[in-house]
Amino acid sequence: MSKRFSMLAYSGGAVNLNLGSPMVFDLSGLKVSRSKLPILRGHDASKIVGYGDRFDNDGRRLVIEGTLSESTEAGREVAALAAEGFSWQASVGLEVLIVSDVAAGVKVKLNSQTFTGPLTIIHESILRESSFCPMGADGSTSATIAEAAGQRLAASAPPPLTPPPRPLTPAEYTGLAAAAEGKVREYGTGKVRTYSDPRQRSRE
């Protein structure tokens, strides 16, 4: 039986990706792409660590629980380093749908926290994968691995979010963009940028 893991994949705070302003992922607009989410080593699709099957998004932070693979080198490496005492962090891989920028000095409230611009807000996104990393862009993340196969972790996440999102229709996509525009008007700042328009391409 494989070992279970639990990771604080995103703490809800601002993340510095060295792309300009810090970014905040609005947890109210985050969707999970599938019921068994790929868990990778350092966002490398060739290094599969396992899969996540339980997701706890309470609007403040995102916790993922799942199973480590015994069949892959990456899965064994993650488990072995954790057994030696290494403290893994985590990082999320998102498909970004709707973004806006907040000007310097403007305060916004997201994920039960208050942030001051300049920053970039990811209003709507789809979680495609999450990764074990030596150093996550969100320094408050962490990951815990059960000491033995079949052992339950101390804090088990609630049942998975269901169902995984189907492809958005053009009308739904337009509605999401309009809602984001409304949020931006409240801030009194930047213009909404949209990506992954379903009229231009399809998703799994």
Tell how strand 4-10 and strand 193-194 pair up. unpaired
Q: What is the pLDDT of residues 82-141, one digit of tens each?
A: 999 999 999 999 988 888 888 889 899 999 999 999 999 999 899 999 999 998 888 899
The whole-model pTM stands at: 0.83
Say if CB 74 and CB 61 are below 8 A apart. no
pLDDT at 180: 77
Task: Identify the band that residue 202 occupies on the pLDDT scale cut at 50, 70 and 90.
Answer: very low
C-alpha–C-alpha distance, residues 89 and 86, integer Å: 10
Closest CA to 136 of 1, 52, 11, 35: 11
C-alpha–C-alpha distance, residues 135 and 140, integer Å: 10
pLDDT at 2: 83
Q: What is the pLDDT of residues 131-180, one digit of tens each?
A: 999 988 888 999 989 865 555 555 555 555 555 566 677 777 777 778 77
Write the DSSP string, 15-59: B--SSSS-EEE-GGGEEES-SSEEEEETTEEEEEEEEEEEEEE-S
User: How high is the mean pLDDT of the chain?
Assistant: 83
Q: What 3-state class would DSSP assign to 67?
A: strand
Tell which CATH architecture fits domain 4-194: Alpha-Beta Barrel (3.20)
Report H helices in the chain: 73-83, 170-187
Q: What is the mean pLDDT of residues 18-23?
A: 83
Task: Identify the band that residue 190 occupies on the pLDDT scale cut at 50, 70 and 90.
Answer: low
| β-bridge partners, 52 | 37, 66
Q: How far is CA 33 from CA 7, 105, 157, 196, in A?
A: 17, 34, 18, 14
C-alpha–C-alpha distance, residues 60 and 10, integer Å: 9
The residue written with tokens 């749908």 in the block is: 97
pLDDT at 188: 58
Say yes or no to pLDDT of 204 above 50: no
